[in-house]
Amino acid sequence: MAAPPLLTLQDVALTFGGTPLIEGAGFSVAPGERTCLVGRNGSGKSTLMKIAAGLVEPDRGVRFVQPGTTIRYLAQEPDFSGFATTLEFVESGLGDGDAHHRARYLLESLGLDGSEDPTRLSGGEGRRVALAQALAPEPDVLLLDEPTNHLDLPAIEWLEAELKGTRAAMVLISHDRRFLSALSRATIWLDRGVTRRIEQGFSGFEAWRDAFFEEEERDRHKLERKINDEEHWLRYGVTARRKRNVRRLGNLHALRKERRDDRRPVGTVTMQAGEAEASGTLVMEAKNASKSYGERRIVADLSLRVMRGDRLGIVGANGAGKTTLINLLTGKLQADDGSVRQGTNLKMMLLDQARAVLEPSMTVTEVLTGGSGDAVVVNGVSRHVVGYLKDFLFTPEQARTPVSVLSGGERNRLLIARALAQPANLLVLDEPTNDLDLETLDLLQEMLGDYSGTLILVSHDRDFLDRVVGSVLVSEGEGRWVEYAGGYTDMVNQRGVGVQARAGAKGKAEARGKSEPRERADAAPAAKGKLNFKDQHELKTLPARMEKLQGVIAQLRTVLADPGLYARDAARFDKASAMLAQAETELSGAEERWLELEMLREG
């Protein structure tokens, strides 16, 4: 017999004036259940989560919690007021009988020591502290609203592993596809105020949702045909049989009401980048470039070529120097040693992660037009700002809305709308996926796929990197940056490890949680006939890594097999040749290491 739900919401409704935000929504959470809550920006996901946490009272509905159940809620914007240190804040979430050492363990695992002043935390540090408070008591139910926001890749992967090992039931809201797919076993979809549930994790949701929309569209067409038939009868087929006619006319009125009351899905974003005249073949080149701040090296002896049409991803832990690297490549900073040069006819558009261009007092229209008129020029065509805003799901009423009242997702959509209106042949996007819903991420991906210019993308979204970039530049520590062919997953397969946490200059505990560096192929062998756990894991994963490298090598050889490539694009030929040599060297080392471990295992 199935265990009763720990938390239940039934027939929940809430209206903030006008169209109901939530009507007839609900879900239940059984012990150990892993559920994700998905829906468009503005659909009410965070509000429904707050109702589940008992922080918001609905207009209608029932919330039931099994007696003795402990629930912890992770808010998007935690309140740290009244706490002197981060440890004090985390310990405030503990109850009688909870282990206090767990609060310090979680803070240290997330790169903090507990002595930090909560009022001086960055966005990423604040998110880590709030996560530690939610996880510390090991509750029965975890309600997590965008837990990966502002986290870097090492922290995201640590959190994913931590949540996989917890006994708590979970409800997750996130825009990170890979995070949701790894953790969810059921999906709750909040759409037009109503919840629908499927007993599949997020990986099966999108195909189900698309099929639902197709079926809904077919039903809408049937309704339209039926109304048309009845209206034709009303005009031409009325007879003297008055009772039947009255009943049929009543049915027509009911059908018309059904059509009026039908809440259609929110429209989709329409994205098109403003493209400038093509740049030169070489976009930028670094030769043995270095940049330091004091004793800390941010970039050390970097040699890199970015060619027209390249799609380069940049990844690294928070504090690795990704923004400094971008500023160096784009000419905003000068190298201490070596050189960096930009190609000809470059027109760059930078999407700033900090949203520095969005002054809170400016209206949405002023952001797009610079305060001059009501028109915006996109690809040489003048468009009224309201029409352009509709492409990004803004209503006409929001055209005069100040930026200060927009949600995080709306601000990011506005920033993208502003950026894409500018003609450019080089897009530099620093964390463009923050606060975007999954459908908007899909459309951003499609737009970038169609973009004919050059792209440099900084992101912690593993799935988005896999879908968009052609190579990844990774921080290897101590200012070293290495380029790998393919997306994020390809990079992990080639390196044997993902992005690692940066060791703090003051020896903070964030170094404790990071993975040990991968052993070199020429490292001293273990005692004969004995494989430790790490060796066993390496022996198990090496075949897949070698197979991946062989695929990369085959792709590069296909590119180089073009007899006219060198004459047409010598720089691309040189870059592909260098990447081929690197991949072949890595494959050779992996093969030697596999043979060494096999001999040890058999000995």
The annotated binding site for ATP is made up of 39-46, 316-323
- CA 127 – CA 350 distance, rounded (Å): 26
SS (H, E, C) 327-358: HHHCCCCCCCEEEEEECCCCCEEEECCCCCCC
At residue 440, the 3 state secondary structure works out as helix
Binding-site annotation, residues: 39-46, 316-323
At residue 283, the 3 state secondary structure works out as strand
Q: Do 29 and 7 form a contact (C-beta atoms < 8 A)?
A: yes
Return the sign of the alpha-carbon dihedral for residues 343, 346, 349, 352.
positive
The residue with tokens 């931590």 is 162
Helices (H), strands (E): how many in the chain? Answer: 18, 20
153 burial via Cβ count (<10 Å: 0-12, 13-18, 19+) = buried
Q: Do 328 and 476 form a contact (C-beta atoms < 8 A)?
A: no
First and final CA of the chain: distance in angstroms?
51
Phi, psi of 314 (to 5 degrees): -120, 125
Rg (CA), the chain: 28
- CA 177 – CA 124 distance, rounded (Å): 20
CB count in 10 Å sphere of residue 60: 14
> Which of 343, 314, 345, 333 minimizes the C-alpha distance to 430?
314
